[in-house]
């Protein structure tokens, strides 16, 4: 169910959406970590959590646990990853509180 290729925005709208789609396709490890850390938070009893906190945890992984000087991720991608997570994990839909953003389908 959490296959990297199962979720795609039908028609990305805007520069950020296109950048996310490209980044996501080129960095499957980020999606794996996003799912892993999100599920850890849910299993720890969190009813809701911050997608931005998950992004920061991924940065920690790439800078401290498994140093990668080339790792970069745009903060704007947190909204896209949150929505992707909800779409691919319907049992945890709403785990990330979201507000209107460029990641929303219009």
CA-to-CA distance for 44 and 65, rounded, in angstroms?
Answer: 21
Can you give the pLDDT at residue 105? Answer: 61
Distances (CA, A) of 53 to 44, 75, 105, 106: 15, 10, 23, 26
The answer to whether 86 touches 95, Cβ cutoff 8 Å, is: yes
> Is the confidence at residue 4, as pLDDT, over 70?
no
Give the three-class secondary structure for 59: helix
In this prediction the pTM is 0.82
Can you give the pLDDT at residue 10? Answer: 60
The residue-averaged pLDDT of 78-88 equals 93
Give the three-class secondary structure for 31: helix
Q: Using 50, 70 and 90 to split pLDDT, how confident is the model at 8?
A: low
Tens of pLDDT, residue by residue over 9-63, are 565 578 898 999 999 999 999 999 999 999 999 999 999 999 999 999 999 999 8
Q: Which residues contact 101 (CB under 8 A, 6 or more apart)?
A: 79
CA-to-CA distance for 16 and 106, rounded, in angstroms?
Answer: 14
Instruction: Pick 100 or 46 by higher pLDDT.
Output: 46
Q: Using 50, 70 and 90 to split pLDDT, how confident is the model at 70?
A: confident
């Amino acid at each position: 169910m959490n296959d990297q290729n199962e979720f795609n925005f039908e028609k990305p709208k805007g520069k950020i959406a296109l950048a996310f789609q490209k980044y996501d396709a080129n960095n499957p490890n980020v999606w794996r970590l996003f799912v892993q850390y999100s599920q850890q938070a849910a299993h720890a009893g969190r009813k809701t959590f911050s997608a931005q906190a998950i992004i920061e945890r991924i940065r920690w992984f790439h800078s401290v646990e498994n140093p990668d000087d080339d790792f970069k991720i745009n903060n704007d991608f947190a909204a896209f990853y949150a929505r992707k997570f909800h779409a691919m994990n319907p049992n945890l839909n709403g785990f990330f509180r979201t507000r209107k953003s460029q990641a929303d389908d219009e």
